[in-house]
Amino acid sequence: MSLEESFKSLSLDYLNLLINGQAFSDVTFSVEGHLIHAHRCILAARSLFFRKFFCGPDPPLAISEHPIRISSPSSNSQKHEPRPTCGERGCWHTHCTSAVDLALDTLSAARSFGVEQLALLTQKQLASMVEKASIEDVMKVLMASRKQDMHQLWTTCSHLVAKSGLPPEILAKHLPIDIIAKIEEIRLKSSIARHSLAPHQHHHHQHHLHFDLEDQKIRRMRRALDSSDVELVKLMVMGEGLNLDEALALHYGVENCSREVVKALLELGAADVNYPAGPAGKTPLHVAAEMVCPDMVAVLLDHHADPNVRTVDGITPLDILRSLTSDFLFKGAVPGLSHIEPNKLRLCLELVQSAAFVISREAGGNGGAAIYPPMNSEVNNNMVSLSLDSREAMNRHGSQGSCDSPMYSHDF
């Protein structure tokens, strides 16, 4: 048997003893009312804290009749409120607030009990997490790294906060004055370094630096939107001068986020609801129409999205929905259309068509934009209110969503 095989066999034998827990345990801990059976030699080998604890002047009995109660140092201080768990649907918990909090708690326990290997692994994990975490979580890790003298983690976090562009008055809500002074010092050194470049290098460097910083802002903005953290996006707009239109924030939100996130974005008042994106010039409403998403269509129309705005090729959101309806009716088997739900397509078409009709009426009837007649008798001259929540509208039309409904007998 080779040396590697011998070690593997030994570790498996130990593992079997550990699994058997109580039978071979020589110490028992009480943790929040639960009994945990452990082994002194393994604890002493891995933790300096337990090595000193078991080798002290009055070591515990080999087999404790009464469980040992040991509190982590963090629990000896003020009582903390229970941390919220991440309920974000689809979150992988790689850099969300709950994942950062768990890593910080693990790090604190590892440092307190002298489990240095675990502490080093957790520090490495946190250094990776903060690259993608929200700026609030970065500041949280920054504070922890300062308290526990973790210089590398401190350096990483302090530079991330410095690059965030958040002004001192906003940082003051999260950080003490001396740390803010350090952040400003980092910013000053960075500024001096940029200005000390040779003239022929300076413009080239500034050009790339600008786009690097903008890319970083956009990535952070998207991570914030993925986490429904519109408040962070607001901070970026206020403190970093983030341009929501150039960052295509609404387009990204419509494609990847919930109706509530898009609504909150629109309510910031810093984004143009009709901003054309890319070479095609699609607005968020074009994107929502292509997705056949009534929720997004309704909230965009609520915030004055223009149903008559055209792409570079002259296509309006209404054109997209009418084309999809025609394809769905007459080419239902075409690949790529199987995901379309009749109810949603019907409602999107009705909402956009109604908005176009209302605008044309306000513009003076036939002299304005082209008038599209209402889809059925339910839509009277007053049309569908643009403030109508799409869920209510879905319920209202839910019984008429099949392909046999009168709506689908229209000539498009």
Is 323 in the same domain as 375? Answer: yes
Is 112 in the same domain as 231? Answer: no
pLDDT in tens, 236-287: 888 778 889 888 999 999 989 999 999 999 999 889 999 998 778 899 999 9
Q: Which residue has the tokens 């489990």?
A: 115
Q: What span, in angstroms and rounded, lies between the C-alpha atoms of 326 and 264?
A: 34
Is 341 in the same domain as 392? Answer: yes
Is 289 in the same domain as 407? Answer: yes
pLDDT in tens, 145-193: 988 888 889 999 999 998 887 888 888 888 998 899 888 888 887 766 5
pLDDT in tens, 188-213: 877 665 554 445 444 444 444 444 55
Measured N-to-C along each axis, helices 151-164 and 116-129 cross at an angle, to the nearest 10 degrees, of 10
Torsion of CA 230, 154, 192, 197, to 10 degrees: -90
Is 173 in the same domain as 230? Answer: no
pLDDT in tens, 301-334: 999 999 999 998 899 999 989 888 887 777 655 5
Q: What span, in angstroms and rounded, lies between the C-alpha atoms of 234 and 133?
A: 16
Is 291 in the same domain as 400? Answer: yes
In a domain, 77, yes or no: no
In a domain, 397, yes or no: yes
Last residue of some domain: 272, 301, 316?
A: 272
Is 297 in the same domain as 333? Answer: yes
In a domain, 189, yes or no: yes
Q: What span, in angstroms and rounded, lies between the C-alpha atoms of 144 and 133?
A: 15
User: 230 Cβ partners below 8 Å, 6+ apart?
Assistant: 224, 261, 264, 265, 268
* CA 22 to mean position of chain CA atoms: 43
Which candidate, 310, 308, 342, places its Cα nearest to that of 324? 342
Q: What span, in angstroms and rounded, lies between the C-alpha atoms of 383 and 356?
A: 10
Last residue of some domain: 163, 195, 227?
A: 195
Which candidate, 139, 172, 171, places its Cα nearest to that of 156? 139
Is 297 in the same domain as 408? Answer: yes
Last residue of some domain: 130, 161, 195?
A: 195
Residue 84, CA atoms < 13 Å, CB-side half-sphere: 5
**Tally of structural domains, the chain:** 4
Is 238 in the same domain as 329? Answer: no
Is 189 in the same domain as 232? Answer: no
In a domain, 186, yes or no: yes
In a domain, 86, yes or no: no
Does this model's pTM top 0.85?
A: no
Q: Which domain holds residue 27?
A: 3-71
In a domain, 83, yes or no: no
Is 215 in the same domain as 177? Answer: no
Q: Are the C-beta atoms of 138 and 160 separated by less than 8 Å?
A: yes
In a domain, 84, yes or no: no
Tell me the torsion sign for CA atoms 147, 149, 150, 156. Answer: positive
pLDDT band of 298, cuts 50, 70, 90: very high
In a domain, 21, yes or no: yes
What φ, ψ does residue 27 adopt, rounded to 5°? -155, 145
Is 104 in the same domain as 42? Answer: no
pLDDT in tens, 86-120: 666 667 778 888 899 999 999 998 888 888 888 89
Which candidate, 314, 325, 258, 252, places its Cα nearest to that of 287? 252
Q: Are the C-beta atoms of 128 and 105 separated by less than 8 Å?
A: no
User: 33 Cβ partners below 8 Å, 6+ apart?
Assistant: none
